[in-house]
Amino acid sequence: MSLIISLVQASQVVHLNTLAITSLIAPGLVVIALWLWMAWANRRGRNWARMLSTVLFGLATVISVLLPLAIHARFRINVDMLVSVLTWLVGLAAVWLRWRPAASAFFKSQGFTQAWLATPKLL
């Protein structure tokens, strides 16, 4: 009887490991896709992408600060924390560079900064 219970538990553990790995990888791929899309749109001079990138960075900042507090994580320095901090610093630098005067001039020169204000001209 205990052999059957241990076999059922072992199969459940394998299923839970697969689920846990998938639940960690899938959101990571979505985040990567979003940042690549934002980089592509920013390169094309889309001002909405500059704003959305800033909002996503702010959201990532809030999540990275509040999530450890919510689960009562102890403060300890490890490789994961070091990678997270370095990634956050790269994001901060990217947001800062997007809002520099030279970048603002680039976005204005592309003509997409106030496209929503433009009204169609009637001939």
- Per-residue pLDDT of 25-56, as tens digits, reads 888 888 889 889 998 999 888 889 999 999 99
User: How far apart are alpha carbons 69 and 88 in whole angstroms?
Assistant: 17
Domain ranges, residue 49: 31-111
Instruction: Report pLDDT digits (tens) over 48-104.
Output: 999 999 999 999 888 877 777 666 666 666 777 777 788 889 889 999 999 999 888
Residue pair 88/60 in contact (Cβ under 8 Å)? The answer is yes
> Does residue 37 belong to any structural domain of this protein?
yes
The CB-side HSE value for 118 (13 A sphere, CA atoms) comes to 8
Supply the pTM of this predicted model: 0.64
> Does residue 4 belong to any structural domain of this protein?
no
> Does residue 12 belong to any structural domain of this protein?
no
User: How far apart are alpha carbons 78 and 34 in whole angstroms?
Assistant: 27
Residue with tokens 């072992």: 10
> Does residue 18 belong to any structural domain of this protein?
no
**Total residues found in the chain within this entry:** 123
Please count the structural domains in the chain: 1
